[in-house]
Amino acid sequence: MNYLITIIGPTAIGKTSLSIALAKHFGCDIISCDSRQFFKEMCIGTAVPSEEELAAAAHHFIQNKSIFDNYTVGDFEKEAIVKLDELFLKNNIQIMVGGSGLYVDAILKGFDNFPDIDNSVREKINADFEQLGIDYLQNKLKELDADYYHKTALENPQTLQNPQRMKRFVEVCIGTGKPYSSFLNQKRNERRFAPIIIGLEANREIMYNRINQRVDIMIKEGLVKEAESLFPNKELNALQTVGYRELFDYFDGTISLEFAIDEIKKNTRRFSKRQLTWFKRTENVQWFDFKSNPNDIINYIKSKI
């Protein structure tokens, strides 16, 4: 039997250090499912593991793509499953870690299959979004897939404010001529592993303090300079993320640097809350306090194998 130890939890909670401790103990590799860490041009703002951390265990899917690549969660699912099949030949225990709930689900559950969409559809939607804003995407989804729009508004209202997700919904509707929801919950591929899911958590005050400290460290390490180098490409999907958007506003002259840094902290705290909400809905998770001794977590994993 193959086992995929999956470590989930909000940002800045300590997932990376735990994954390395577990990888050393079990002698296995680490699959990253943090969608912000795929891109080689982004490092400081995405909290990519340090050189020492990367050297401590074999990592996959970290800085392996470019911000200029059109890389979807479906692409990740296909590539990661192939890599896991390869890794399981060497060791029947492997580790996956990351805070991107959709990408975790894609590996553990399988992802819904969507037809390929013509690039011209995507380009037209991007152009309309640039001119008309998020309201255009919301109204278009409501028009083309009212059921899914209302379901999302009820269960995940923040998704309606996410341009990347909304563009995807609309492009599927327009590109296929069918509602986005018609492609959901189809038969998915079986997985050749059993997941052991570990969640890390802390009380909200501690979690928020850790986030604020991490942002301060990022600024000291050169986040402003990194964001400035990416500013000419600020419209790319990969850069529509916390830590960069706020600094792009600073470079545009609409806000001060101090305000931008405060906004990064605030928006990261909001992001962590959404992550936790997502992960708390995940089934069969064993939650541990972020300060837990790794040996206690190792003992729990051994009890499940």
* Residue 14 marked ligand-binding: yes
What is the rounded distance in angstroms from the CA atom of residue 101 to the CA atom of residue 278? 7
Per the annotation, does 176 bind a ligand? Answer: no
Q: Is 199 annotated as a binding residue?
A: no
pLDDT at res. 287: 98
CATH code (residue 169): 1.10.20
CB 238 within 8 A of CB 67: yes
Based on the domain organization, do 175 and 42 belong to the same domain? Answer: no
148 shares a domain with 50: no
Same domain, residue pair 96 and 154: no
Residue whose pair of structure tokens reads 């979807």 in the numeric block: 72
- Cα separation, 135 vs 137, in Å, equals 5
Residue 85: Cβ within 10 Å count:
12
DSSP 224-242: HHHHHHHGGGTTSGGG-ST
103 plus 161 within the same structural domain: no
Q: How many domains does the chain have?
A: 2
Query: Within this chain, do residues 128 and 62 fall inside the same structural domain, yes or no?
Result: no
3-state secondary structure of 40: coil
- DSSP string for 150-206: HHHHHH-GGGGG-HHHHHHHHHHHHHHSS-GGGGTT---PPPSSEEEEEEEE--HHH
Verdict on whether the full-model pTM lies above 0.85: no
User: Does residue 83 sit in the same domain as residue 201?
Assistant: yes
Q: Are residues 194 and 280 in the same domain?
A: yes
- Residues 56, 175: one domain? no
Q: Express each pLDDT in 63-111 by its tens digit.
A: 999 999 988 888 999 999 999 999 999 999 999 999 999 899 999 988 6
Range of the domain at 192: 3-111+188-304
Question: Looking at residue 15, which CATH number applies to its domain?
Answer: 3.40.50.300
Give the E-state strand segments of 14-97 in sequence order: 30-32, 59-60, 93-97
Same domain, 52 and 197: yes
Please write the tens of the pLDDT for every residue from 37-61.
Answer: 999 999 999 999 999 999 999 999 9
277 a known binding residue? Answer: no
Residues 53 and 20: beta-carbon distance below 8 Å: yes
Same domain, 129 and 96: no
22 and 47 in a single domain? The answer is yes
pLDDT of residue 227: 98
10 labelled ligand-binding: yes
Q: Which residues of the chain have pLDDT under 50?
A: none
| Last-in-domain residue among 167, 183, 199 | 183
Does the annotation list 9 as a binding residue? yes
Q: What φ, ψ does residue 125 adopt, rounded to 5°?
A: -65, -40
